[in-house]
Amino acid sequence: MSAGGARMLRRQVVNGLALGLATLATLTGLIALVWILATILINGAGALGPHLFTRATPPPGSEGGLLNALLGSLMMTGLAVLLGTPIGILAGTHLAESGGRRWIAEAVRFVNDILLSAPSIVTGLFVYEIIVQPSGHFSGIAGAVAMAMVLLPVVVRTTDETLRLVPVSLREAALALGAPLWRMVLFVLYPAARAGMMTGLLLGIARISGETAPLLFTALNNQYLSFDLTRPMANMPVVIFQFALSPYPAWQQLAWAGALLMTLFVLLLSLGARFMLRPRRG
């Protein structure tokens, strides 16, 4: 009896210990999150100001803002969305809708999942090889193409997943009324899956707004305000990278301010996307 009691006690202790460690692990994760966000908030808040949005990045040792980097990132993100979204939606639709040779769809799905987690610096090297090298110089277009390649698999995946959630009766109803496939997809499937597809796009934009590695040797950087997509173009991630590692306090301040703006933008987008998805789940 006492042996059984000791055994019971040991099992209870192991159980309590394991669950306690699990709680500790969760706390570790939460502390890391708060620590990082607090660092960015405290260092970045002091550096905020209207000058960030009205002046271009300064030469070493003088004052300035982030205008050229913000505009450059905006333009390249816009172009990346224009390039990546239609192709991603079409490819995702193919995965969800085409039957026929299923192994092709399976292969594309497999490759797409790999692209989703593949190192983005390799994407940067690829775009360098196919655009920067032949054209002879870094350019905003090369940066946008690299960003589009990071965005594409996100859009493909979410389109594929949300379209497959649309009830088959909707498809049947449309086709039975004599609608051609393209009308059914465009006017029945896409509206029905709109929320999910938008969520995917927002998450994708959040992802590419913070990506630095693929821009390092595609868009590079530009000290001046420029709207020319065929030339090197300033952008937030690379400016933050260069300024954070610089020895100049004014540059480091701008890096913290940029880091705060970028983090806020990315986290608000992810939270917004999550919020959009919620009603559909209910």
Partner 1 sequence: MSGMAIARAAPRARRLPWGDRLFRLLLASAAILVLALLGGTALAIFWGALPAFLHFGSRFLTGLAWDPVRQEFGALVPIYGTLVTSAIAMVTAVPISFGIALFLTEVAPAWLRAPIGAAIELLAGIPSIIYGMWGLFVFAPFMADHVEPALTALLGPLPILGVLFNGPPLGIGMLTAGLILSIMVVPFISAVMRDVFLLVPLALREAAVGLGATRWELVWRVVLPQTRSAVMGGIFLGLGRALGETMAVTFVLGNAHEFSASLLMPSTSIAAAIANEFTEADSNLYRSSLIALGFLLFVITFVVLALAKWLLARLSAGEARR
Instruction: Pick out residues in 172-191 that bind partner 1 (CB under 8 A).
Output: 172, 175, 180-182, 185
Helix/strand/coil percentages in the chain, nearest 5: 80, 0, 20
DSSP 80-129: HHHHHHHHHHHHHHHHHH--SSHHHHHHHHHHHHHHHHS-HHHHHHHHII
What is the smallest separation between the CB atom of 136 and partner 1, expressed in angstroms? 14
Burial status of residue 232 (CB atoms within 10 A of its CB: 0-12, 13-18, 19 or more): buried
Using the rule CB under 8 A, give the single segment among 6-14, 46-54, 58-66, 192-200 that binds partner 1: 6-14
The residue (of 12 and 230) whose beta carbon lies closer to partner 1 is: 12
What is the smallest separation between the CB atom of 194 and partner 1, expressed in angstroms? 17
Q: Which helix (H) or strand (E) holds 140?
A: helix 140-165
- Site size toward partner 1 (CB under 8 A) is 96
Length of the chain, in residues: 282
Out of 107, 135, 191, 224, the only residue in the binding site for partner 1 (CB under 8 A) is 107
Out of 119, 187, 227, 280, the only residue in the binding site for partner 1 (CB under 8 A) is 119
Out of 161, 198, 210, 246, the only residue in the binding site for partner 1 (CB under 8 A) is 210
CB atoms within 10 A of CB 254: 26
Using the rule CB under 8 A, give the single segment among 45-53, 65-73, 166-174, 223-231 that binds partner 1: 166-174
Q: Does 213 bind partner 1 (CB under 8 A)?
A: yes
What is the smallest separation between the CB atom of 41 and partner 1, expressed in angstroms? 11
The residue (of 13 and 54) whose beta carbon lies closer to partner 1 is: 13
Positive or negative, the CA dihedral 79, 82, 85, 86 is: negative
What is the smallest separation between the CB atom of 180 and partner 1, expressed in angstroms? 5
CB atoms within 10 A of CB 21: 10
- Non-local CB neighbours of 182 within 8 Å, separated by 6+ positions: none
x-or-dash pattern for partner 1, window 16-55, by CB under 8 A? --xx-xxxxxx-xxx-xx-xxx-xx--x------------
Out of 111, 177, 187, 280, the only residue in the binding site for partner 1 (CB under 8 A) is 111
